[in-house]
Structure 1
Amino acid sequence: MSDSDIGTQEAPPPPRLLDRVRERLRLKHYSIRTEHQYVQWVRRFILFHGKRHPAEMGAKEVEAFLTHLAVQGQVAAATQNQALSALLFLYREVLGQDLPWLDQVVRAKRPARLPVVLSRQEVGRVLEHMDGVYGLMARLLYGTGMRLMECVRLRVKDVDFERGEILVRDGKGAKDRVTMLPLSLVPLLQAHLQKRRRVYELDREQGMATVYLPDALERKYPNAAAEWGWQYIFVAGSYSVDPRSGQKRRHHLDEKLLQRAMKRAVQAAGIAKLATPHTLRHFFATHLLESGYDIRTVQELLGHKDVATTMIYTHVLNKGGRGVVSPLDGL
């Protein structure tokens, strides 16, 4: 190719807006789930306003979109706030518009709801109907207070049998914390890891043993992705393609499978209350407080930034209305 040919080549087109959003999210190390949700909200915002470019719009259009979600879409306050967060990210991080109106858009007020609480006996009845991998995971959630995805993403090296603890990596707020390893689960977890090791060895033989690592770790430790310690404890039954790297490998278990297994168990136990894998974390906190443990200790185990978040569990400790005996019962 001659110099003249190089000079006449057309410059590549600039990346599309949604691609720029994805690139910025990855640069800021947002999770793949957040990336998917933010891109979807930006797309919906643009389509709602007749495919106008966001740079041509402002607070009026953002508030109109959020109002539409609340009134016509009847979405929850948390969903509406997630849409707002996505749009704020778009304007600040992608379009570079740090304008005054960005801070004036009002977030939806989330209703103050008390957590659903099952008694120890009710939790036991649910867990009796869960066995295998899902039973182990459900017992870990109730026994440690981990969030659903924190359990799903556990790595082999995160469990310390000698110290009887679990290291929760990159929890909410990108923070690590330590929680206990229930002694009753040690034999079950060790037996599961033996089976998991056999799957790992088969993957190694096929050259498919690598797992996802955050970018910084993958660059710092290029061989770590194929090491036993970094393997997910709970893995999918087949390989899948990583949407970011395009690499085919074994990912962690789909959390929806655990959610469905617990739904079946709750129904089989004959419990009418709403109980999901996430609510096992509520039961963990409530039952610890009922046992007399200090609220600051429970706060650290749950990974709450503010003790006020943990305080909500104290409101469900008293039976009935604030522990008051009804006058009807005194007749």
Structure 2
Amino acid sequence: MMVPANLTIARNLEAAAVLYDQNDPDCVATRLGGLLKLYFLNNSPAKREQFFKVAEDYLAIPGCRVTHYMSDEGRRRRMAQPHRVPDYFLSKEPDPENADARIDVYEELGGDYYAPPCWHLHGDVFGVNFQPYKLSGLEAHFPPDLMTRDADRLAELALRWVEQLGAIHGSFGFGVLGTPGSENSTGPYWYPWLQAYPLVDQGSLGVYWSASRRGGYDQPFTSNWLTILGDANIEKLGGKGEIRERLGQGMSFLPFKGGAIIRACETPALGNAASGGIPEGYRTAARIIKPIRFEGYQRGIIKTPKELGFTREQDLQVTLDWVRRFD
């Protein structure tokens, strides 16, 4: 399974950075795009309202192509009003034992199978008594050209959303986009992108929820173009002053109520040789969070090709090597 290794942000990545299903050449399995992941605690009755406000904000982005939502039963349904959160989600009563809120809206690409688009927002606010996970989350996908054309505006959006949700950690930059849950249920369609492009992230809320369910959910999982840290994590790293002193040229520190964002450079990058390599700010951000970074994986979260013949221990090492790639 191969992906083009010489792509740059000057290309039409929405068309070129696509990997098709091995069993269906017309079905997109994964693609590269903008990936925002926010993790937060459901520690306030207002969290549900803020969650849906962020969703409305996403749907209001100029050019947003979201047209459908996914029901709890896995049915694809057209939205009555494309720029408004469907009543299907708004009308659900909060459930302390399960979920207080859920969202899954996306751009429908057509075809027999649900394929990953460039516009997709999904996430859950878990109930305060939900036992499996303490950490709620929101994941947003963006077209790759928007990431470089409107980087400042996206950074401003991220800053507003992390404050609204009270994010304790998260990241934003280029990532591998797939459909929720397919990272475990389909082929190894993430692995070749992560090998070819050092700066793209592993997209999936679920794999991190599962990995940290026994502890460590409050620790940052990854760093990226934007690395989000809540106040508790900032204090573990020595405080805002200590972090500011470690920032290099072209980096910036964006505080918000409840934490701060480390911005690695002006625009997101892919990290491959053809696109200019790895900006030093990415390495610096990764090294800043290294002392508190989550590494408590019991198994690998990156599915590897069967032909490699890796054992479970080798699969785990692939994940750890990827997490530690800038150490």
TM-score, structure 2 length as denominator? Answer: 0.28
Higher helix share: 1
TM-score, structure 1 length as denominator? Answer: 0.28
Q: Identify which of structures 1 and 2 has the higher relative contact order when contacts are C-alpha pairs closer than 8 Å and 6+ apart.
A: 2
Rg comparison, structure with higher value: 1
Higher strand share: 2
